[in-house]
Amino acid sequence: MRTLYMRIIVITMLIMILSAIIAFLGTNVYYQYYLKPKNDEKVTSVAHNIVTIYENNNSQTISDYLQDMAALGYTFYLADNSGNAQLFGEPFDSTDIEPATVDHVLDGDTYHGIAEYPWKPFVTGFFDNKLQNTIGVPVNANGKQYALFVRQNTVQQFGEMRLFLAVMLGLLIVFSFLLVLTSTRFIVKPIDKLTAATRKISAGNYHIKLNVGRRDEIGRLARDFQQMSDNLAQTEEKRQEFVSNVSHEIQSPLSSIQGFSQALREEEMTEDERRRYLSIIENESRRLSQLSRQLLTLSSLDDDMQANEMTDINLQQQLRDVVAASEWLWRDKEIAVELETVPEKVYGHPKLLHQVWTNLLTNAIRYSTSSGTVKIHGKTDKNRVIVTVQDNGIGIREVDIPHLFERFYKTDKARTRTDKSTGLGLSIVKKIIELHDGSITVESTPGEGSKFHVMLPNV
Q: What are phi and psi of 347, to 5 degrees?
A: -110, 120
Phi-psi region of 431 (alpha: psi -120 to 50; beta: other; left: phi over 0): alpha
Q: pLDDT (tens digit, 9 = 90+) per residue, 15-60?
A: 888 888 888 888 888 878 888 888 889 999 999 999 998 888 767 8
Q: How far apart are CA 277 and CA 256, in angstroms?
A: 10
Determine whether domain 4-160 maps to CATH 3.40.80: no
**Cα→Cα distances 288→35, 59, 247, 283, Å:** 94, 128, 11, 9
Helix (H) or strand (E) holding 171: helix 154-202
pLDDT value, residue 416: 41
Q: What are phi and psi of 387, to 5 degrees?
A: -115, 130
* Nearest by Cα to 101 from 86, 88, 116, 118: 116
Radius of gyration of the CA atoms of the chain, in A = 49
63-89 exposure pattern, b = at least 16 Cβ within 10 A, e = fewer: eebbeebbeebbbbbbbeeeeebebbb
C-alpha 312 chain-centroid distance? 41
Is residue 212 classed exposed, middle or buried when 0-12, 13-18 and 19+ CB atoms within 10 A define those classes? middle
Rounded to the nearest 10 degrees, the angle between the axes of helix 315-325 and helix 350-366 is: 50
**Cα→Cα distances 347→308, 310, 353, Å:** 12, 7, 10
**Taking CA 42 as the corner, what is the angle to CA 36 and CA 43, rounded to the nearest 5 degrees?**
90
Which parts of the chain have pLDDT scores under 50?
413-418
C-alpha 423 chain-centroid distance? 40
Question: Per-residue DSSP letters for 330-360?
Answer: HHHTT-EEEE----SEEEE-HHHHHHHHHHH
What residue segments make up the domains of the chain, in order of their start? 4-160, 206-303, 306-457
Helix (H) or strand (E) holding 183: helix 154-202
Centre a 10 Å sphere on the Cβ of residue 227 and count the other Cβ atoms it contains. Answer: 10
Q: pLDDT (tens digit, 9 = 90+) per residue, 291-311?
A: 677 677 766 665 555 555 778
Architecture of the structural domain at 206-303: Orthogonal Bundle (1.10)
For 138, what's the count of Cα atoms within 13 Å in the CB-facing half-sphere? Answer: 14
pLDDT value, residue 245: 62
Q: Which residues contact 356 (CB under 8 A, 6 or more apart)?
A: 429, 432, 433, 454
CATH, domain 306-457, list 2.40.50.100, 1.20.1440.130, 3.20.20.70, 3.30.565.10: 3.30.565.10
Q: How far apart are CA 76 and CA 131, in angstroms?
A: 9
* Nearest by Cα to 433 from 265, 301, 306: 301
Centre a 10 Å sphere on the Cβ of residue 119 and count the other Cβ atoms it contains. Answer: 13
Q: How far apart are CA 283 and CA 363, in angstroms?
A: 19
Helix count and strand count (H, E) for the chain:
12, 12
Which residue type occupies 415? R
C-alpha 365 chain-centroid distance? 51
**Cα→Cα distances 142→61, 102, 103, 145, 160, Å:** 8, 19, 19, 9, 39
